[in-house]
Amino acid sequence: MAMWATTQTGFISAVAHRDDATLLMVRARDAQSLRPLVEQTGAAIMATPNADYPYRVTVTRQQFADAMVAAVLQIDYSNFKSRVHTTRGHEFAHTLTRVWEVMHDVEDDNARAAGEEGGRR
């Protein structure tokens, strides 16, 4: 199983480590996205320029879970795109806005309808 996570500090992809089921490989397109995890765990960023993600770190599952909890506990903003503009700058925020726009394609037929599974409450 893999997961993508976008936080106010970056975009990462976490997957099971190929050789050790107790570890995760957390990958990123830019080293800056991994820095909060590195600061929290002491893991080293590995350069993997020929892989699908050019940067990665190896951490325990618990270290990654703790980092995700810390990211959640740091949420003190009401607009994610605006926060990312502040924390990562215009270029990164613009790219995330493009992802946000593309994800409109997965809205189901009831996404904008009023009711229990559609619309705002």
pLDDT digits (tens, 9 = 90+) for 110-120: 888 876 665 55
User: Do residue 28 and residue 85 come from a single domain?
Assistant: no
Residue 33 belongs to some domain of the structure: yes
Provide the residue range defining the domain that includes 20: 2-75
Q: Would you say residue 27 has pLDDT above 60?
A: yes
Residue 117 per-residue DSSP state: T
Query: Are 65 and 83 part of one and the same domain?
Result: no
Residues 51 and 93 in one domain: no
88 and 57 fall within a common domain: no
Q: Does 52 lie in the same domain as 102?
A: no
CA dihedral 68, 74, 79, 83 (to 10 degrees): -90
Tens digits of residue pLDDT in 75-116: 999 999 999 999 999 999 999 999 999 999 999 988 888 766
